[in-house]
Amino acid sequence: MALPLLGELWDELPVEKRIFCSVLLFSWAVYLWEAFLARRQRKVYRTTTHVPWELGQIMDSETFEKSRLYQLDKSTFSFWSGLYSELEGTLILLCGGIPFLWNVSGQISGRAGFEPEYEIAQSLVFLLLATLFSAVTGLPWSLYNTFVIEEKHGFNQQTLGFFFKDAIKKFIVTQCILLPVTSLLLYIIKIGGDYFFIYAWLFTLVVSLVLVTIYADYIAPLFDKFIPLPEGELKQAIEMMAKSIDFPLTKVYVVEGSKRSSHSNAYFYGFFKNKRIVLFDTLLEDYSALNKEHPEGEDGEDDDTKSKVKNKKQGCKNEEVLAVLGHELGHWKLGHTIKNIVISQMNSFLCFFLFAVLIGQKELFAAFGFYETQPTLIGLMIIFQFIFSPYNEVLSFCLTVLSRRFEFQADAFAKELGKAKDLYSALIKLNKDNLGFPVSDWIFSMWHYSHPPLLERLQALKDAKQD
């Protein structure tokens, strides 16, 4: 009796109410699914207190316990921050937060001399206020994550002063990019006619390619210091390996990631014949500031960062660094980067096309409290963030599966370069340095891990290593 009654009540609801309820219900369904997966993984953290026999040769009990406690703290933090985020989003929708902020934005732009017909000006004020609200409400969580969890487990290298300067700088840089790009996108949509979705897609394609090209040269150095890798054996070996696979390497940089965190990373960027490689100093055993004693006040950096010298050396030896780069260059040689760009742009085109189909549906705007006006920016938010959310969840899972496949292929490429043994040891070192927990729930791993679990990668490398 209950289900037919609920069905009748549902059918009696106006279309806009059904849209609103569907969005809210799906959002909570996703949250509960994620909470269920996280609970399964936390159970693994709590119950796996001893090193499994298959890990006995690669991980000592002390490191295993440290990684277990670190991941348990991160998981607990993720639960509470996720719950807050879901409750905040629900309250914003139920209390009409989006139309309220739009009206406030109209009042502010009106006082600045812009009439209601200047929708783009009002949209930019709305975007600025929305991102400011998000930054302020997310600040306590970011502080706790950095200065409690990361600090407790030895990863944080920042002081409060550095943290706030960094946060303010990020906000300003984000606005300097976001506001002009958004204003141009809205203008293109306004004047683009029936085929505006093609022009909007082309515009976002150009912007994304430009940002990828200039990021490491002009944006990233605003936050971290980039220096050329000094001449020596490592640089020569990197250049030789790049030449052997026809990778058009032009520069190799080392970034001082140790100023903010002891986590390590490496990546390459650039298009056509202008490729650069970036290595975090925390990846390099011989260059990591965390392996060296720094006189207090040297270079004026101790005011902003902490000097923490570890008993155990962090980072990889040169041969292991080359193996990691062999894996990364494998992504390029096997076309993974191009494939990801193509998939991303196909998805972007599809979304803009569907946006063009749906933007004229007034019920979508009415569902979120916009009965009189249908602002383009609000339409983008409603359709891309809320209406497309089921599609986005499916796409995200598919890309996660594809990413794991690419990672195995890149490992296999490093094996073909003769780097299996060094990659094997590098993966173990990086897992230890970053306190990765090598045991995971299979559903959690399947849904979330863009990289295969450590044991699976090591097993794939093991045969070649033994050979």
Catalytic annotation, residues = 328, 411
**Half-sphere exposure of residue 302, counting CA atoms within 13 Å on the CB side?**
9
Name the 3-class secondary structure at 316: strand
Phi, psi of 268 (to 5 degrees): -125, 160
Report whether 407 belongs to an annotated binding site: yes
- The DSSP letter of residue 222 is G
Sign of the alpha-carbon dihedral angle for 337, 342, 348, 351: negative
Q: Alpha-carbon Rg of the chain, whole angstroms?
A: 25
Short-list 61, 28, 6, CA closest to 386: 28
459: nearest Cα among 417, 384, 395, 408: 408
- Taking phi over 0 as left and psi of -120 to 50 as alpha, with beta for the rest, 159 belongs to beta
Q: What is the DSSP letter of 217?
A: I
Check the annotation: does 294 bind a ligand.
no
List, edge to edge, every strand of the sheet that includes 226-228. Answer: 226-228, 249-255, 275-280, 266-269
Which segments of 260-335 does DSSP mark as H helices, in order? Answer: 318-333
Question: Cα separation of 323 and 426, whole Å?
Answer: 8
- 157's CB contacts (< 8 A; 6+ apart) are 258, 259, 260, 261, 262, 290, 305, 306, 308
Q: 345-355: b or e for each residue (b if 16 or more CB lie within 10 Å)?
A: beeebebbebb
Segment holding 364, helix H or strand E: helix 362-367
Q: What's the rounded Cα separation, in Å, for the pair 104 and 132? A: 14
Task: Report which of 337, 222, 338, 229 is spatially closest to residue 278, judged by C-alpha positions.
Answer: 229
- Looking at residue 153, its amino acid is H
Q: 301 labelled as ligand-binding?
A: no
Q: Rounded to the nearest 10 degrees, what angle do helices 454-466 and 420-433 cross at?
A: 150
Half-sphere exposure of 235 (CA within 13 A, CB side): 13
310: left (phi over 0), alpha (psi -120 to 50) or beta: beta
Q: Which amino acid is at 363?
A: E
Residue positions in the annotated binding site for Zn(2+)?
A: 327, 331, 407
Residue positions in the annotated binding site?
A: 327, 331, 407
